[in-house]
Amino acid sequence: MNIGILSLQGAFIEHQKMLTRMGLNSFLVKEASDLDKIDGIILPGGESTSMRYISQRKELWSELKIRLNRGLPVFGTCAGAILLSKAIIEENAETLGLIDVQVRRNAYGRQIDSFEDFINLKFSPEKDYLAVFIRAPGFEKIGPHVELLAEYQSQPVLLRENNILISSFHPELTDDLRIHSYFMDIIKSKGRRIN
């Protein structure tokens, strides 16, 4: 199994370190042709406008959209989640439009308002997952087929729709492998819902 990580900008090395710790092969995706080599892809946190701009210039954007629509499993964290959403509230910017969720950028405030706190993951019996929020987006107008996997103060922060997983926080900045492991299960089941 080879996991791609979109590596144009943002926290891609941190995701790679997580996958290495799990004994998994990863591949830093920089070009459209790199998409042939992977079984799933992570879109990291960073700056969604920069990632969109760079990937559109490289034709990576359109090719990625095709693969994701065909069912390539994807995990978008923070800026990556923004790119996967159906629309950005109060902005007319293009998204990949894969998950039936609208996002509000920087919903929790600016860089200085970054914080970490404990949440519970619906798929894990162990309590207290430490979630790191950095200029995190808010998820709104969530469609009926989207599964809620975690919330923070009654707000959704981890969501899944078939082959698409999104978090508003940064699982790659902790030592906790549970969410990356959950994404590996999605890849193994090729995007089908696992109960």
Query: Which residues contact ligand GLN by CB under 6 A?
Result: 45-48, 78-79, 82, 105-106, 134-135
46 is in an annotated binding site: yes
Residue 6 has which token pair? Answer: 């979109």
Residue 3 has which token pair? Answer: 């996991």
105 is in an annotated binding site: yes
The catalytic residues are 78, 170, 172
Q: How far is the CB of 17 from ligand GLN (least distance, A)?
A: 17
48 is in an annotated binding site: yes
d(CA 5, CA 14): 10
Beta carbon nearer to ligand GLN, 4 or 45: 45
Beta carbon nearer to ligand GLN, 80 or 191: 80
7 is in an annotated binding site: no
d(CA 155, CA 138): 8
Beta carbon nearer to ligand GLN, 160 or 170: 170
Residue 17 has which token pair? Answer: 């370190």
d(CA 52, CA 42): 14
Reported as type and span, the H/E element at residue 16 is helix 12-21
The annotation places the binding site for L-glutamine at 46-48, 105, 134-135
Tell me the binding residues: 46-48, 105, 134-135
